[in-house]
A = this chain, B = another copy of it.
Amino acid sequence: MATIVQKYGGTSVGNPERIKNVARRVLETQRAGNSVVVIVSAMSGVTDGLIKLAREVSEEPVEREMDVLLATGEQTTIALLAMAVTAMGGKAVSCTGAQAGIVTDDVHSKARIHNITPGEVNRMLDDGNIVVVAGFQGITSSGRITTLGRGGSDLTAIALAAAIKADLCQIFTDVDGVYTADPRLVPDARKIPVISYEEMLEMASSGSKVMQSRSVEFANKFGVPFEVRNSMNNNPGTLVTMENSSMESVVIRGVSLEKDQAKITITAIPDQPGNAAQVLKAIGDANLNIDMIIQNTSREGEARISFTLHKSDLKKAQAALGAAAKSISDKVQITAQDGIAKVSAVGIGMRSHSGVAAQMFGALGEAGINIDMISTSEIKIAVIVDEKDQENAVRTVHRAFRLHEAP
């Protein structure tokens, strides 16, 4: 008998009919001879409704109470799903995050899981129950309700799967799995059957937002294999798991696109130790996330740093940098540009294959697409292109590595 953790997102439990659909699925899974734990999110729309309500009583709702409020969303779903399973003749019991033993730190609205004491969940499983656990929420050691922030329900599923030593964790969502590229851009993109944690992380950080990076990181850290699949059909999904040697035969696993990027270039920085750090610190202090950072070899004693960021952060970044630059030298210049995009090719196979970057750049050049910046990691090659070329660039790279063909 296997122990399976299934997670259903807000769309999958978005109305009573869909909740009944999920109830049928989890019952089938149990009747096939498995112990089943189900993690659910708030019904889609519920969280937004609660946030709206909060704003009507307070312009800036205190985060501790926001967590108490938002936690009702998942609590509603667990009760309804447990009722639906029971109505179909099954045996189910609901657990809030607190009842499931999910203990977090006290950083409200984006708490981190400290530890899980799954005694109650295990006891209920042993009693033959389908255990329905509220995702996204936990409790501090002093008993305050917390929420885990965006993607928190995925994290609950993976962390609980680790804690109860589940055999498999299934993340049900509204897509069939992880694709070689966004099927809306690349019609002949294929679903990836197996992908490594590292590749999944690089895909996620490059715009393929099937899951939040920290859930994948958590799965990687605790070695929890998980499958991303569609709650509306029975198609097999994408298994995300530890890297193994057979995976290396595929050079590029997928291509992802990050739109709406912007670039800031800082020129004429006196090339002395600490100056670059001082510039970047200003960005960090302003709580802005930057992505690709490129510093070329200095010329004539002056350094030049470029980095990319989301265009919505551009104004804030310029303001923060202006102050920092002045404190270094009056000559320092800051230029900004938006209207660019990042296209990434990801695959652990590139470690053992040479010429991958050349092949990618060549294909883009042949297609008449200009490359503005390049950044590489061990398993990723990322290029910045003009946004007018972004879709063509994804299709070109996808085809260059023959990702439309089964490996």
Chain A interfacial positions (CB closer than 8 Å to B): 16, 19-20, 23, 50, 53-54, 56-62, 64-66, 68-69, 71-72, 75-76, 78-84, 86-87, 93-94, 96, 98-99, 120, 143, 145
Contact = CB atoms under 8 A, between A and B. Distances in A.
Contact of A79 (B60, B69, B120): B69
9 contacts: A23-B57, A58-B87, A61-B87, A62-B82, A64-B93, A68-B78, A69-B75, A69-B80, A120-B143
A60 B120 CA distance: 26
Contacts of A120: 143
Complex copy number for this chain: 2
Contacts of A66: 79, 83
A108 to B, nearest CB: 12
A84 B64 contact: no
Given A65-B79, A65-B82, A57 B93 contact: no
A55 to B, nearest CB: 9
A64 B145 CA distance: 21
Contacts of A143: 99, 120
Given A72-B76, A82-B65, A143-B99, A56 B94 contact: no
Contacts of A96: 68, 145
Contact of A58 (B50, B54, B58, B84): B84
A59 B80 contact: no
A298 B199 CA distance: 91
A14 to B, nearest CB: 12
B76 A69 contact: yes
Q: Which applies to chain A's interface (DSSP): helix, strand, loop or mixed?
A: helix
A381 B54 CA distance: 51
A86 B59 contact: no
Contacts of A93: 64-65
Nearest to A71: B75
A87 B59 contact: yes
B68 A75 contact: yes
A136 to B, nearest CB: 14
A60 B76 contact: no
A83 B71 contact: no
Contact of A54 (B20, B83, B94): B83
Given A65-B83, A76-B69, A86-B65, A57 B20 contact: yes
Contact of A83 (B20, B57, B83, B87): B57
A86 B58 contact: yes
Contacts of A84: 57-58
Nearest to A82: B65
A50 B76 CA distance: 8
A118 to B, nearest CB: 14
Of all A-B residue pairs in the complex, the 7 with the closest CB atoms, nearest first, are A69-B79, A16-B56, A58-B87, A72-B72, A68-B79, A57-B84, A58-B83
Given A75-B75, A120-B143, A86 B69 contact: no
A119 to B, nearest CB: 11
